[in-house]
C-alpha cells in the first residue's frame, strides 16, 4: 500500500506504508497458516532463552527490583496474569480512543511481559520479573487516518519525563525526523538508557530504522536459538547489541488475551530482552549510570570475550548479563562518557543517508561504527547454546500492529 505525501517544497513523493513494529504480528500468522497454539499454562516451556541465558541462576543475584522501564508502544493490558501488580501509571499520547490500558494489537503487552512479567498462572515470565513497567502509549496514525510522527516524538519525551531508568522502544520508522532525534537526545540528557529495535526487513529493503539509528539510542538486533543473527534482523541501523528474538511467544493474534501465539518476536522482543538485561544489571548496581550499565552490556558479550571484531549484524554481540551478575565481569568505566559516542552528551548529531562517516558539523560523532567482520557476521554471536531447536521452524519477518513507515530521503 502506498500514499502520496507532500514534501516541504510542494512536490509529492510516494511513500510506502507497512508494518514497522519489530515483532511479527497476527497477519503474518494468518499468512503462514499458523494457529495460536501457546496456551498460557505451557508458554514458559517455549521461552527457550531463559535457560540459554541462565535466568534462574541470575535471579538468585538480581531480579530487576527497584528498576523501572518505560515501554513506548501500543499500550498494554495490565490485567493479564503476568502484569498484575507490575504496571505503574503511564501516559497516553496516541490521540486514539482508550488509555494506557488499551492495547488492540497485543504488542505492547507482550513487550512488557517479556521485560517484567511475573509468570503467574503459567503466563510469560519476564527476564527481570521484579522490575516495573511504565506504559507510554503511542501511535503514528491519528483518528483522522493520516500519518503523524507527533505521537511517537511525544512518547519518547513523555518516557524521558518519567522516573524510569530505561526506555524500551520496539517501534519505529524509516524516516529520520529531526524532532525524533532531538527527543532521543533529550532522553539521553536526562540519564535514560534508551534501547530501540533495529527492524525486521533485512531480507527486503533493509532500511535504516529510527530511532535505533540515531546517536544515543542502543540499536538492538535479534538472534535465533543458535546464537546467530536472525535472517530478518536489520543490519542497516548501526546495530550495537543483540538479544534473542526468534520463536518467542506473545499476544500477537488473540485480542481476548486467552492464549499466546507461537511465533517470532523479532527485534521487538530482542529489544525488550535487552532492556530487561539492563534492568538486571542496574538493580545489582543501583549507583551506576546509564553509560556504565550499557558499557558492561557491550563489554560482556560473547564476541567481545572471544576478541572477535564487532559485526554489522550483531554489533558487539548478544547480551549476557550473567557474565557480570554471576562472574563479576565488565568494567563500568567513566559514568559520564557514552560508550556509543565516546564523548559526553552534546548537541544532537546528524546522520547523512547512505553515509558511513561519523561526525557532523557540530563535531559530535554518530554512534561509534562497528566493523564488518566475517568472523562475527553470518557466523553469529557465539553466546547462546542450541536449545530446543526443532525441525520445521518458520521464520517470519513481517509485522502486525501497523505503523506507517517511510523510506527516508537523502539529506543534503
Angle at 268 between CA 305 and CA 376, to 5 degrees: 30
**CA nearest neighbour of 62 among 282, 316, 330, 371:** 282
**CA nearest neighbour of 67 among 130, 161, 117:** 130
Is 73 an active-site residue?
A: yes
Question: What are the DSSP calls for 103-134, one per residue?
Answer: -SSSHHHHHHHHHH-B-GGG-PBPSSTT-EEE
Is 39 an active-site residue?
A: no
CB 382 within 8 A of CB 227: yes
CB 274 within 8 A of CB 53: no
Angle at 184 between CA 411 and CA 223, to 5 degrees: 90
Which of 73, 103, 238, 262 is labelled catalytic?
73
* Helix count and strand count (H, E) for the chain: 10, 11
Which of 94, 105, 123, 268 is labelled catalytic?
268
CA atoms within 13 A on the CB side of 296: 27
Is 268 an active-site residue?
A: yes
What's the CA gap between 297 and 272, in Å, rounded? Answer: 14
Which of 82, 103, 107, 197 is labelled catalytic?
107
At what angle are helices 107-116 and 266-284 packed, to 10 degrees? 30
Which letter does DSSP use for residue 394 in this model?
Answer: P
**CA nearest neighbour of 242 among 278, 267, 210, 213:** 267
Catalytic residue set: 73, 107, 268
Amino acid at each position: 500500500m502506498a500514499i502520496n505525501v507532500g514534501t516541504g517544497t510542494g512536490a509529492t513523493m510516494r511513500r510506502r506504508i507497512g508494518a514497522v513494529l519489530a515483532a511479527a504480528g497476527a497477519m503474518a500468522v494468518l499468512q503462514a497458516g499458523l494457529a495460536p497454539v501457546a496456551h498460557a499454562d505451557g508458554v514458559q516451556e517455549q521461552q527457550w532463552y531463559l535457560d540459554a541465558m541462565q535466568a534462574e541462576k541470575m535471579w538468585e543475584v538480581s531480579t530487576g527490583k527497584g528498576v523501572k522501564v518505560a515501554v513506548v508502544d501500543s499500550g498494554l493490558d495490565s490485567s493479564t496474569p503476568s502484569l498484575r501488580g507490575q504496571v505503574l501509571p503511564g501516559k497516553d499520547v496516541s490521540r486514539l480512543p482508550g488509555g494506557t490500558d488499551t492495547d488492540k494489537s497485543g504488542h505492547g503487552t507482550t513487550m512488557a511481559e517479556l521485560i517484567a512479567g511475573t509468570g503467574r498462572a503459567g503466563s510469560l515470565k519476564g527476564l527481570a520479573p521484579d522490575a516495573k513497567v511504565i506504559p507510554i502509549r503511542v501511535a503514528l496514525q491519528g483518528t483522522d487516518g493520516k500519518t503523524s510522527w507527533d505521537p511517537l516524538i511525544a512518547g519518547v519525551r513523555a518516557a524521558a519525563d518519567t522516573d524510569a531508568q530505561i526506555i524500551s522502544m520496539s517501534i519505529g520508522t524509516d524516516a529520520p525526523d529531526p524532532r525524533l532525534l532531538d527527543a532521543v537526545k533529550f532522553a539521553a540528557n536526562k540519564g535514560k538508557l534508551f534501547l530501540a529495535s533495529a527492524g525486521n526487513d533485512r531480507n527486503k529493503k533493509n532500511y535504516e530504522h529510527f530511532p535505533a539509528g540515531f546517536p544515543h539510542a542502543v540499536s538492538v538486533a535479534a538472534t535465533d536459538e543458535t546464537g546467530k543473527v536472525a535472517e530478518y534482523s536489520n543490519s542497516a541501523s548501526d546495530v550495537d547489541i543483540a538479544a534473542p528474538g526468534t520463536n518467542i511467544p506473545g499476544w500477537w493474534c488473540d485480542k481476548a488475551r486467552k492464549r499466546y501465539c507461537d511465533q517470532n518476536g523479532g527485534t521487538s522482543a530482542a529489544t525488550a530482552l535487552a532492556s530487561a538485561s539492563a534492568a538486571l544489571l542496574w538493580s545489582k548496581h543501583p549507583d551506576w549510570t546509564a553509560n556504565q550499565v550499557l558499557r558492561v552490556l557491550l563489554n560482556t558479550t560473547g564476541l567481545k570475550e572471544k576478541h572477535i571484531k564487532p559485526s554489522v549484524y550483531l554489533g558487539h554481540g548478544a547480551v549476557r548479563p550473567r557474565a557480570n551478575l554471576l562472574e563479576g565481569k565488565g568494567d563500568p568505566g567513566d559514568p559520564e562518557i557514552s560508550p556509543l559516542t565516546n564523548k559526553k552528551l552534546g548537541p544532537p548529531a546528524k546522520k547523512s543517508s547512505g553515509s558511513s562517516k561519523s561526525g557532523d558539523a557540530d563535531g559530535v560523532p554518530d554512534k561509534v561504527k562497528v566493523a564488518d567482520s566475517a568472523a562475527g557476521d553470518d557466523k553469529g554471536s557465539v553466546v547462546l547454546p542450541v536449545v530446543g531447536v526443532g525441525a520445521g521452524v518458520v521464520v517470519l519477518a513481517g509485522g502486525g500492529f501497523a505503523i506507517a513507515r517511510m523510506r527516508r530521503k537523502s539529506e543534503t
